Structure 1
Amino acid sequence: MKKTSILAAVLIIVGFAFIAWQKTDQGRQNKSDAGMGNTTLAEVLLPSTLSQSAQIGKRAFEEKCMACHGINAAGQVEVAPPLVHKIYEPSHHGDESFQRAASLGVRAHHWSFGDMPAVEGLTRGDVTMIVAYIRELQRTNGIN
């Protein structure tokens, strides 16, 4: 009985020490991210290559969308949602949803960021290329 009690006590102490270590390590990571101004909402894996359409879309995204939706469409805390997210998979938000959001704006319905205004200066062709970029990012991140 005594060996079992000692073993149980050691396991509990090791467990608490591990939890404390994880929290300390996570705290260091959060401070590091905060110091770098990291406000992204999603971790986005990048494809090894982009199609020509997606390359054009990436440039248009960076010019017109990135200020709100963040680098590589990862979203930004308290600004705008990540577009590399299951909510925006093609079966839920088809390509035309992106066209309408860019040209007409969209009322908030999945997130609490507020309404999205229309984006000035984008043609349907521009948005088509932006969507190609977003879809390639999504596929790379397992969103089909």
Structure 2
Amino acid sequence: MPKRENWDGVPPGELPIDSSGLQGVLESIKQLYGNPPIYIHENGQRTLHNASLNDTSRVQYLNTSLACILHSMRNGSDVRGYFTWSFLDVFELTDGYKSSYGLYYVDFKDPDLKRYPKLSAHWYSTFLKERRNNVNGVIELKNKSGYSQSSHFA
């Protein structure tokens, strides 16, 4: 089987963004179970651990997920909370330290486990403070952050 180079423009190690599944689940729960209160937790996007701090794909994932949730709420779903996975890069049961879900990069080779905010951390913080649900905010953050032009971990 040939190695996959990309999947609809998504590089290897990342999964395509498709929020229609989340929206469908929320609608089904509303219809089938009498619209119970819902708290969404551990919702995130897997990327390779040593990827760039410019995790624009995670920003797009958060943006589309939150837009989908908002749409579902406007359609009557009783969503009361959302928790992204995860705040920091952590040891994942199936991937160990090879994958990354965190808004903050953790340098596991550093004895102090130094942490570096990714673009998604800045975007999510701005979203929470300003209630902005617009992926175009990525461009603003890229231009303001000093590390964003070339930060990459080998």
Q: Could you tell me the TM-score, scaled by structure 1's length?
A: 0.26
Structure number with higher strand proportion = 2
Structure number with higher helix proportion = 1
Q: Could you tell me the TM-score, scaled by structure 2's length?
A: 0.25
